C-alpha cells in the first residue's frame, strides 16, 4: 500500500530542506575556515613582504655607502664626484640620498626635512628607519645608515621606497586569494550538495520504509478489525440460537487469532529494526529444534489434511538463538501448510551440505509465479498466491530472512507454479562444540 501523494510531497520537501541546510553548513564552515586561513596567510605574507622591503633598503644603503666611500672617489677633489657616483648608481624603485654628519644633503643637494632628521639620528646611532606620510596619502619608508670613508669622513647613506609597492602586492594577493576562495566555496557547495544527498539517502530510505511499513500495517490491520466489527454487529442485530452465537464467536476467534499473528509479526520486525532483538547465540543442534517444530507442524498439517514427512535428519550443530531458529522453522512450515492443498505433501530435511548445516522445507503446493520470486522476502508482499484464496500479511518470510541474516545464514526459494515450493536455509557451521561428556559409572 503506497503512501498518499501529499505525505510523499511533504517528505520530499523536508528532505530538500535538510539537504539545503547541510549544503549551506558545509559552505559556511569552509568559508569560515578560508577566512581564518586567508587572514593568517595575509599577516604572514605581509610580514614577509615588509621584511623583504626593509632588506632591500638595507642593501641599497650598504651599496651606496660602498660606492660613496671608495678610496678613488675620496681622492678626487670636491663633492662633485660623489654626486656623479650617486647619480650613476641606479637601484630600481629606490630613491638614494647621500648626506653629511650634520644632515646636509650632498647628493642630491636638496632633501626634505624629515630625511635630514633621519640622517641626524643615524649619525648619532649608526642607523635609523622611519615612515613618512605624504600629502597625497602615500607612505614612504626610509632607512639611513652611517659609514666612514677611508679618510675618516662620516657620511650618511639613505634609501627611500614607496610602500605603494607593498599595497599593490597586497591587492594582488587579496584578489588572487579571493578568486581562489570563491571557486573553492563554489566547489565545496557543489560537493557538499552531493555529500548531503548521499548522507541523508539512508535516512530518506529509512523514513520511506517506515512510512510504507506503517501504511501497510494499517492496511493489514484494517481488514481483520473490520471483520470483527461486522461479525459483532451482525450477531447483535437480532436474537440467535446457541449455535448461531457459537458460529459468530468462532468467526471472531479466527479473526482475532489472525489479528494477533499480524501484531506479533509487526512487533518482531519493529524490534529488529530498532536493534532491540539481537540473537542470544549458544551452541545448539538444528536437527533437535527442527524435530520439536515438526510435532507442532504435524498438528496444523493434519487439521488441513496435508501429510508431513521427514526426508533426512543429520546431526547439525550451529551457534544460534534457539527461540529465533524455532520461529524461522515454524514460519516455513506454516507457509508450506497454508499454500499446500489437501492431500499434499510437505517434506522436511536437516542435513550437512558440505560444511554448512542446512534446513530444507519442500511442499507440493500451488507454487509461486516467477515474477513474484524476487519479492517474496519483502514485507507485506503476497503476490499472486492470494488468488487461490489463501490469505496472509506477507510478513513471515521477511522475518525468516531477518533471522537467517542475523545468524549469518543464507535463505533461498525455488518454486514452480502449480508444482510446489522449496525453501533452503544454510547456516554457518559451529567452529567448535564444547560437549560435556557424562562420566561413566
Cell numbers standing for residue 361? 522445507
Task: Note whether 366 and 386 are within 8 A (CB).
Answer: no
Task: Indicate the pTM of the whole model.
Answer: 0.49
Q: What sign results for the dihedral spanned by CA atoms 403, 407, 408, 413?
A: negative
The third-level CATH classification (topology) of the domain covering 282-426 is: Heat Shock Protein 90 (3.30.565)
**What does the alpha-carbon distance between residue 412 and residue 422 come to, in Å, rounded to a whole number?**
8
Query: 5-169 and 282-426 share one CATH topology?
Result: no
pLDDT values of the chain reduced to their tens digit, one per residue, 441 residues: 444 445 555 556 666 777 778 778 877 887 888 788 877 777 777 777 778 777 888 888 888 777 776 655 554 555 566 666 666 677 777 888 888 888 888 877 788 899 899 999 998 898 888 888 887 777 788 889 898 877 788 888 888 887 766 666 667 777 777 777 788 778 777 777 777 777 777 776 666 666 666 665 665 566 567 767 777 777 777 776 777 777 777 777 766 776 776 676 666 666 666 665 677 888 989 999 998 888 888 888 888 889 988 888 888 899 888 888 988 898 899 888 888 888 899 999 999 988 899 999 999 988 888 888 888 887 766 665 454 445 555 677 888 888 888 888 899 999 888 888 999 999 988 764 444 333 332
**What does the alpha-carbon distance between residue 348 and residue 236 come to, in Å, rounded to a whole number?**
46
Beta pairing class for 307-313 and 345-353:
parallel
The label of the residue with cell 559556511 reads: 28
Residue whose C-alpha is closest to residue 95's, from 44, 134, 124: 134
Domain ranges of the chain: 5-169, 282-426
CATH architecture of residue range(s) 5-169: 2-Layer Sandwich (3.30)
The radius of gyration computed from the CA coordinates of the chain, to the nearest angstrom, equals 47
Q: Which residues contact 362 (CB under 8 A, 6 or more apart)?
A: 336, 346, 347, 349, 420, 421, 422, 423
Residue whose C-alpha is closest to residue 348's, from 305, 314, 323: 314
**What does the alpha-carbon distance between residue 272 and residue 145 come to, in Å, rounded to a whole number?**
84
Residue whose C-alpha is closest to residue 128's, from 140, 139, 113, 117: 117
Amino acid at each position: 500500500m503506497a503512501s498518499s501523494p501529499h505525505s510523499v510531497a511533504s517528505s520530499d520537501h523536508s528532505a530538500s530542506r535538510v539537504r539545503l541546510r547541510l549544503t549551506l553548513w558545509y559552505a559556511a564552515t569552509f568559508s569560515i575556515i578560508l577566512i581564518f586561513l586567508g587572514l593568517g596567510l595575509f599577516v604572514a605574507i605581509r610580514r614577509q613582504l615588509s621584511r623583504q622591503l626593509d632588506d632591500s633598503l638595507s642593501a641599497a644603503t650598504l651599496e651606496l655607502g660602498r660606492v660613496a666611500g671608495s678610496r678613488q672617489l675620496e681622492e678626487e677633489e670636491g663633492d662633485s664626484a660623489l654626486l656623479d657616483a650617486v647619480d650613476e648608481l641606479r637601484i630600481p624603485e629606490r630613491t638614494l640620498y647621500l648626506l653629511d654628519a650634520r644632515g646636509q644633503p650632498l647628493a642630491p643637494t636638496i632633501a626634505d626635512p624629515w630625511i635630514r632628521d633621519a640622517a641626524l639620528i643615524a649619525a648619532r646611532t649608526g642607523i635609523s628607519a622611519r615612515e613618512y606620510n605624504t600629502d597625497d596619502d602615500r607612505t614612504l619608508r626610509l632607512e639611513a645608515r652611517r659609514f666612514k670613508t677611508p679618510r675618516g669622513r662620516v657620511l650618511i647613506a639613505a634609501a627611500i621606497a614607496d610602500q605603494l609597492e607593498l599595497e599593490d602586492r597586497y591587492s594582488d594577493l587579496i584578489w588572487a586569494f579571493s578568486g581562489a576562495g570563491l571557486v573553492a566555496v563554489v566547489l565545496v557547495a557543489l560537493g557538499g550538495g552531493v555529500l548531503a544527498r548521499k548522507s541523508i539517502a539512508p535516512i530518506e530510505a529509512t523514513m520511506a520504509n517506515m512510512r510504507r511499513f506503517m501504511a501497510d500495517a494499517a492496511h493489514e490491520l484494517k481488514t481483520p478489525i473490520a471483520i470483527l466489527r461486522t461479525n459483532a454487529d451482525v450477531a447483535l442485530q437480532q436474537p440467535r440460537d446457541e449455535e448461531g452465537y457459537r458460529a459468530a464467536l468462532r468467526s471472531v476467534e479466527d479473526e482475532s487469532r489472525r489479528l494477533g499473528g499480524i501484531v506479533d509479526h509487526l512487533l518482531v520486525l519493529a524490534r529488529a529494526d530498532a536493534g532491540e532483538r539481537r540473537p542470544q547465540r549458544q551452541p545448539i543442534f538444528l536437527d533437535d529444534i527442527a524435530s520439536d517444530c515438526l510435532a507442532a507442524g504435524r498438528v496444523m498439517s493434519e487439521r488441513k489434511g496435508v501429510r508431513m514427512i521427514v526426508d533426512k535428519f543429520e546431526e547439525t550443530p550451529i551457534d544460534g538463538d534457539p527461540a529465533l531458529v524455532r520461529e524461522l522453522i515454524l514460519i516455513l512450515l506454516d507457509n508450506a501448510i497454508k499454500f499446500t492443498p489437501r492431500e499434499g505433501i510437505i517434506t522436511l530435511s536437516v542435513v550437512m551440505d558440505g560444511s554448512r548445516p542446512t534446513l530444507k522445507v519442500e511442499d507440493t503446493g500451488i507454487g509461486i509465479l516467477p515474477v513474484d520470486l524476487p519479492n517474496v522476502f519483502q514485507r507485506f508482499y503476497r503476490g499472486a498466491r492470494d488468488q487461490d484464496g489463501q490469505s496472509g500479511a506477507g510478513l513471515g518470510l521477511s522475518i525468516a530472512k531477518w533471522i537467517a541474516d542475523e545468524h549469518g545464514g543464507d535463505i533461498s526459494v525455488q518454486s514452480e507454479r502449480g508444482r510446489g515450493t522449496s525453501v533452503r536455509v544454510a547456516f554457518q557451521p559451529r567452529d567448535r562444540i564444547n560437549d560435556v561428556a557424562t562420566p561413566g559409572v
